[in-house]
Amino acid sequence: MPDTFLALAGSAAAAGGFAGFAPDVCLINRYVPGARMTLHQDRDEANFEWPIVSVSLGLPAVFLFGGDRRSYRHRRIPLCHGDVLVWGGTARLHHHGVLPLDAGNHATLGALRLNLTFRRAR
């Protein structure tokens, strides 16, 4: 993983109260208009003590953040290019997702959104 990615994820996690976070995985999700991600939990990691760090690039999106049960009411969080979201601790296994992406054109990335998700899998 590039050093700049490690530094970004580590400093964002530290600002969110998770000092010492060193991700070993970066997932890249590519969204085109109409694409979405349904509510889910990230449970692939061996240990849930570390946070998730999410970086938004390109078109804006609406992030859904709920509770530990899928049926719990969720909040809508607007995310724009450059926004970074960190969650962990008791919220680490909360359900989350992304509403369908609206059409648009970002000056750098065009008609798409990229999301970089940093985790510690091992």
Tens digit of each residue's pLDDT (9 = 90 or more) over 84-95? 999 999 999 999
pLDDT at position 119: 96
pLDDT at position 27: 96
Band of residue 108 on the pLDDT scale cut at 50, 70, 90: very high
Q: What is the CATH number of domain 3-119?
A: 2.60.120.590
Distance of CA 19 to the CA centre of its chain: 18
Task: Provide mean pLDDT across the span 53-77.
Answer: 95
Return the structure tokens found at 73.
Answer: 């009411």
Nearest Cα to 10, choosing from 89, 118, 121?
118
Return the structure tokens found at 62.
Answer: 């609406």
pLDDT at position 41: 94
First to last CA, the chain: 15
Task: Provide mean pLDDT across the span 9-21.
Answer: 97
pTM, to two decimals: 0.94
pLDDT at position 122: 86
Whether the pLDDT of residue 71 is over 90: the answer is no
Whether the pLDDT of residue 44 is over 90: the answer is no
Q: Where are the domains of the chain?
A: 3-119
pLDDT at position 87: 96
